[in-house]
Structure formats: structure tokens, C-alpha cells
Amino acid sequence: MKFIYRNSAIALLLGASIASGSAFAAEPYSWDNVAPVKQPAVSNNNGKTVYFDVSHGGVEGNADWVIDGAFSDFADALVQQGYTVKEYRGVDLNNDGRIRFFDDRINGTTQNEAIITYNAIKEADVLVLAETNRPFTLSEQAALEQFVASGKGIFFIADHYDADRNLNTWDATEVFNGYNRSDLSKYNIGGAYGDWRNPKNANEGWLVENFGIRFRFNAVDYKQGVSGVVASNKTEGITQGVKPILMAAGATLAVVDPTKAKGLVYFASSDNPVKWNHAKDQGLYFGGAAEGPYAAIAKSGAGKAAFIGDSSPIEDATPKYRRQDNGNTKKTYPGWTDSGNAAVLAVNIINWLATPESYQYFDGTNGRISGVATPTPMAVQEFTDPNNGQPWGSPASGYNSWNTDTYKNNSFNAPFGDGQTNPDPDPTPGNTVSVTQALAASQGTPLVVIGKVTAAVNGIYGLDLTDLNNPASHIYVKLESAQRNNFNPQLNPSILNQNIIVTGKRNSYLGAPGIRYVSDIQIAPTALSVTQALATAQGETIELTGRVKSALNDIYALVLEDINDASFTINVKLELSQRNEFSPALNPSILDAQLIIKGVRDNYMSAPGVRQVNSIEVVSSDTTQPNPSGDLSVSDVLALNNGQPVVVAGIITSAINGQYALALGDDNNGSATLYIKLGSSQRDAFSPQLNPNLLGKRLRVEGIKNNYMSHAGLLNVTKLTLLD
């Protein structure tokens, strides 16, 4: 027998596809339990981290302020600056791999994990709080104070008064200020929260007491752009290059203590802002600079803070989630690319917040120019609440903002994803589908798609992926910033007409069918998996790889099974010259060998098959014990780059993410661990949660090094073998 040894990455990169019509019982709250992380290139890494908080809001109503949704342009710009950007969801108190929200104001539960603690956020240099719609507990306020006192920065992004997006009677202006606009007795919450009634005094409240500033309860429109940009020599350089910034229904702030806070952008005397059409009162109280700054900064002690009264000039038009209340698709404003965008201002603010400085206040010392106090920091209109503490709309039938079980599919914190068919939170290259199959998938479905790159889309920001067998079938792929240099045809023309494998979620892009939230792109190996071969058109000449399962039709054929899922098979008709070597009936040693076969896709014996076989090559004849004496240690694998196929041996130390993964410890280094993501067919036998007797046993794992749940791990696991 002639053996040709090839890189086993072919089998690992191209595995079994999702069977048409197959379905799995989805486990609630597992579909979206991995928070996204965006990282800069190693050569551009500035060593600093920005957390975007979603533990207290930012995804309610039409808001979608997540780093892989309508704040993706903002996040990508920070990555270009060298920042690592992470989504912060809370604290996994019960270590089940997911963050659950239970509103403790309503039921007094201790299960709420959507919380902020200092230990959970202390690794960040900057925390972005975007349209927070749930009040902070006293301990959470203390955690934020400790974060700033340690020299870190917070960016508060609010919106107009009554932007109560989850209809719980709170908007971001109230949450940030530390009190509801109403003074009703019900807002003296007590317990963990304390008194949140309106103090009717501009000098009282959490925000002003810590940062010398408060958000107004106004609602103003000025899409032409707020043009009173303060000179950069008075704003720590933050307004350098900043142009007028649009306000599409927003709030201003009031500087109460000018030694702590100062404005960056005001209404100029030539500006003509107006009341927002849906404002609950006059909407615009004073006009001009007396309305207070639209954007501001604060320096109080070692740390810093920054503020803006509208999300519109920062957001982009690529929302990720559905609405929680009714399941409708969100529509966000393309502010990041609007002529009145805050892109320069927002990046400048983050750079300033991320830079520790020794001065304590804007008190005129060390050349630090103080702010200008707002003449009337709390208007009469702000003493009373025209809504008596009621939300600005009525909740949809069956929706309860305090009960996530009522959230609609594909909304943040919902039990299930939209059109969910697989409980695995992460799509893997073992679930490869064609472009045509991807087009038929429901919005939000995790997919791994193979296709041909045929054009750039939206300049450098995307690509057009065409079906390998049907050029008329194509889908748009939105590229993340780190993927554009290698995979956008405008930046890299050599990628045109290459076959690639894209891992992401089915969604719309540029108003057309698309794939977004792309976590991985790989150049497709030449050989198809068995399941990909099954999806090819009859009569097409193909090259595929698989494992010999059995003889077929006596000596005349063989059954080839998929490397990653033996339930997918294809019949291969052997030519006369091939039978002695490759027919299992004549040569039983060929069983379990991995082959590469070139032939024509055609049915054989009334089943999917390959005929007119031109060549057969043996990739490896040792499929039972790959690399038996050369297993890598866990520590060895931790030192490798992501994307490499490995065979590693170690000790099973714990279950991870319930039944979905396990932790593999190093034989000699207890602190070195890998997270091993288990496929659905592997969990019954290898999940420590289902099999506690596995703990402490040694295990060999074949897979591809990659991160799982933001921890070094192995995905695309093709084989697991207990060693003792």
C-alpha cells in the first residue's frame, strides 16, 4: 500500500455540516452566553482595555449599544487605536458560564448576576456606561467610585429625559444622577438602593457629589450640529479636530462644581435648537450656553469621567439584537458616519480617560483651566415629574422588563435565539454550510459558511461571498477591523476568487442578506469534507476527504464517513485498478484510513456518491492513536497561536459551562488549563457534569487551538481518548 502523509488540518478545518432539517432541544439562556472581545494587532496593542457595560442596559428598546452591534464602529475605532475592547455583562456568581438578570428590586433575589463590582471591572482602564436603564445599588455606586479613585475613567452616555427604553420608569439621566425625576414615595426604594426620590437640589445626587455635574431632564433636537466647541487648550486637548455634533433628541448637562467639571461642547449663540417633538415638558429650558454643555468632562481625585447627552452621534446602523418587548428588528441611527458624528470626540475622550494623570481637579493649579458653572443648574421644570414616575409607553402584551423569561427571541438576555436549532453557543468549522444554505437560515443563526470571494462590499468593510456551485447565489460578509487587511479584496486583491470559511451569524448587511459578528475566517483547504461533498451539485468534479467506514457492493465500492461526524457518509465507486488497494473486502487494513478522493459527484446505488474516481490518496493509516508518543502538554498548547491543530494530553479538572465543556489541566503545572469545547455527540461520554467520575482522569484531545469563553482552549474537537 502506498501511504501519502498530509497535514491533518484538512480534516479539522472542514468537518461535518448541519444536516438539513436537523434540530436539537435548545437549553435556555445558552444561545448568547459568550461576551464578545475585540483585540488589536500585537504590533499595535497599547496594553489598555475598555469595557462596554451591558449589565444595566444599553440594549433595551431600540438601543443596541454593544461592541458587535450598533456600537461596533466605535469599538473598531478603539481597536485601531490599540485598545482591547470587551463587553461587560456582570459576575457569574454560580459559575454556570452565563450571566442572568433577576431584578432584585422586585423579588429581592440574590441570584441577580447583572451587577457591577470593583473586582469585576478593575482590569479595565475605561468603563463605558451607555444609556443605563436600571438604577445602581449603593454597593455598585461604591464600586464605580473605587474604580475612579484607582485612576480609571468612566464615559457616561445618556439620552433625552424619558428615554425609558425598558419601560421600568427609569432613564439614563435619572440612573446617572442617582435619583428619579419623581419625588413619589415609591422611589425611596430603601435596602440595597437607598432613597432615589428627586432631592430638588442641584447639589445633591450621586453624580454631582462625585463629579460636580448632573444631567438635565430636558429633551432637545438640533440635527444641524451643536457648534459651540470649546477651544482645545481649555479642554485638555479633547476637542482638537472636533466639529459640530448632531443632537437627535438628547439632553444637556449642568456644571455645578467648575473645579471638578467643565464643558466641551455647548449650543452657540447662532445655534437654534428646538424642543424634541415628544418631550414631556418644555423640552428646552434656557437655550444657548445656559442650557449647559452637551458634552463634558470631570476630574475628581485620581480618576476621570466624561459625559455626553445623546447616543445618536456615536452609534451606527448595524444593530445585533431584536427588541426585548416585541421581537421586532431594531433600527439605529448611522451617527458614526453622519456629517455631525462624534467619532473624533469619542475617541479623544477614551484616550484622555485612559491616561492617568496626577492632578486632582480643574482648580487652576498646574495650568488646569477650571470649568464654567451653569447659571441655573436645576430648572423649575426639573423639580417635578409630569409623568408621576410612569414610563413613557405601555409594555407589549406578555412582556415584563423584570422577567427575562418574557423576552422575545434574539433579544439580549432572552432565553432563546431567533430560529435557534443548535444549543451550542459557538458555531464551529465542524458545522459548515453552503452560501445557499446560509441564505435560507433564520436571522441570528450561528453559521460556518464556505464560499468564494468575488468582490469587495462597502469599500474596505465587507466582501461578497458566492456559492461554490451556484454563482447566482451570494451573501454579504461584514468584516471586523482586524480581518480587513487579509480578507477585503480592496485591501488584498489576491483574496479574490479564493474559497474561504466564515464563522459568524446570519443577519442583514447593507440592506441585503449577510453574515455579521464574524469571529473567524480561514482559507478553505482544497479537499471538501464528506458533508460538504453531499451539498455539491451532481456532475461536479470534486476533491474530498473522509474516513473509510465499510465495504460496499462487495469489492466494487466503499463507504466514506465524515471525519467529524460518522453519521454523514457518501458512497465511492472504485475503478478496477483501485479495488485491490482500497476495497475493504479485499484489503481490510484500509478500514478507518483517512483518504483524499478525486472524482465526479454522482449517485451510486441510489444514494449520494462519487463515481469516475480519478485518484485516491491515503492521508494517514494510523487513525486510532494519532501522535501517541508525542502528545503536547497543556502548557505547550498555551504557548501556541490560535488556529493550530494539536493533540494534547492532560488531566480533567472540572466541568465548564455546564455540560458544554471541560477544563484540561497540565500534568505538572496546576495553574495551566485549557477549556475543551465538547460537541453535542461528545457530552454524554466526556462531560464532567454528566460524568463526575471523569474528574482526575487523563485525557487526550485532538482539536484546534482557539479561545472558548474568553479563555485559551480547543474547539473543533474531533477525538477524545481516555488514557487511564
Place 641 in a pLDDT band, splitting at 50, 70 and 90: confident
For residue 13, what is the enclosing H or E element?
Answer: helix 9-13
Q: Is residue 16 part of a domain?
A: no
Does residue 613 share a domain with residue 593? yes
* Residues whose CB is less than 8 angstroms from the CB of residue 476 and which lie 6 or more positions away in sequence, other chains included: 457, 462, 463, 464, 465, 509, 510, 512, 513, 514, 515
Closest CA to 465 of 523, 499, 474, 507: 474
Q: Is residue 357 part of a domain?
A: yes
Structural domain ending residue among the three candidates 620, 654, 680: 620
What is the distance between the alpha carbons of residues 597 and 569, in angstroms, rounded to a whole number? 14
* CB distance 218 to 253 below 8 Å: no
Distance from CA of residue 63 to its chain's centroid?
15
Q: Is residue 5 part of a domain?
A: no
Does residue 589 share a domain with residue 469? no
The answer to which of 113-122, 229-238, 439-448, 580-589 has the lowest mean pLDDT is 439-448
Does residue 502 share a domain with residue 449? yes
Place 153 in a pLDDT band, splitting at 50, 70 and 90: very high
What is the distance between the alpha carbons of residues 125 and 45, in angstroms, rounded to a whole number? 14
What is the distance between the alpha carbons of residues 607 and 561, in angstroms, rounded to a whole number? 14
What is the distance between the alpha carbons of residues 148 and 154, in angstroms, rounded to a whole number? 7
Q: Is residue 710 part of a domain?
A: yes
Distance from CA of residue 475 to its chain's centroid?
21
Structural domain ending residue among the three candidates 459, 492, 520: 520
What is the distance between the alpha carbons of residues 139 and 124, in angstroms, rounded to a whole number? 19
* CB distance 581 to 613 below 8 Å: no
User: 3-class SS at 625?
Assistant: coil
Question: Buried (b) or exposed (e) across 270-294, using 16+ Cβ within 10 A?
Answer: ebebebbeebbbebbbbeebebbbb
What pLDDT is attached to residue 563? 77
Q: Would you say residue 422 has pLDDT above 70?
A: no
β-pairing, 126-130 vs 220-226, is unpaired
User: 3-class SS at 525?
Assistant: coil
More confident residue, 700 or 389: 700
Q: Is residue 391 part of a domain?
A: no
Closest CA to 656 of 426, 370, 339: 426
Does residue 208 share a domain with residue 71? yes
What pLDDT is attached to residue 613? 93
Mean residue pLDDT across the chain: 87
What's the burial of 655, exposed, middle or buried (CB within 10 Å: 0-12/13-18/19+)? buried
What pLDDT is attached to residue 669? 82
The number of folded domains in the chain is 4
Does residue 504 share a domain with residue 575? no
What pLDDT is attached to residue 698? 92
Render pLDDT for 330-381 as a digit per residue (tens, 0 to 9).
989 999 999 999 999 999 999 999 999 999 999 887 778 999 999 999 999 9
What are the strands of the beta sheet with 274-275, ordered from one edge? 245-250, 220-226, 274-275
Closest CA to 648 of 629, 668, 661, 631: 631
Mean local confidence (pLDDT), 115-142:
96
The one-letter amino acid at 259 = T
Does residue 647 share a domain with residue 583? no
* CB distance 345 to 194 below 8 Å: no
What's the burial of 517, exposed, middle or buried (CB within 10 Å: 0-12/13-18/19+)? buried
* CB distance 659 to 712 below 8 Å: no
Closest CA to 638 of 678, 677, 658, 665: 665
Helices (runs of H) and strands (runs of E) counted in the chain: 14, 32
Does residue 192 share a domain with residue 156? yes
Q: Is residue 25 part of a domain?
A: no
Closest CA to 133 of 383, 401, 477: 401
CATH at 707: 2.40.50.200
Q: Is residue 342 part of a domain?
A: yes
What is the distance between the alpha carbons of residues 613 and 542, in angstroms, rounded to a whole number? 10
What pLDDT is attached to residue 568? 86
Closest CA to 273 of 214, 333, 226: 226
Q: Is residue 17 part of a domain?
A: no
* Residues whose CB is less than 8 angstroms from the CB of residue 225 and which lie 6 or more positions away in sequence, other chains included: 243, 244, 245, 246, 247, 339, 340
Does residue 126 share a domain with residue 270? yes
Provide the β-strand partners of residue 712: 707
- The set of cell numbers assigned to 242 is 472636533
CATH at 342: 3.40.50.880
Closest CA to 403 of 413, 390, 394, 393: 413
Does residue 242 share a domain with residue 197? yes
For residue 707, give its domain range.
634-722
Does residue 151 share a domain with residue 221? yes
Q: In whole angstroms, how far apart are CA 464 and each of 47, 164, 453, 459?
A: 34, 39, 6, 11
How many Cα atoms are found within 13 Å in the side-chain-facing hemisphere of 636? 13
Render pLDDT for 10-60 as a digit per residue (tens, 0 to 9).
333 333 332 223 333 357 888 888 899 999 999 999 999 999 999 998 999
Does residue 649 share a domain with residue 585? no
Structural domain ending residue among the three candidates 471, 489, 520: 520
pTM (two decimals): 0.60
Q: Would you say residue 494 has pLDDT above 50?
A: yes
Render pLDDT for 254-274 as a digit per residue (tens, 0 to 9).
999 999 999 999 999 999 999
Beta strands in 604-672 (DSSP E): 609-620, 645-656, 661-665
Task: Find the distance separating the first CA and the last CA of the chain, reported in whole Å.
Answer: 33
Does residue 701 share a domain with residue 655? yes
What pLDDT is attached to residue 626? 35
How many percent of the chain have pLDDT more than 70? 91
Q: What is the DSSP letter of 363?
A: S
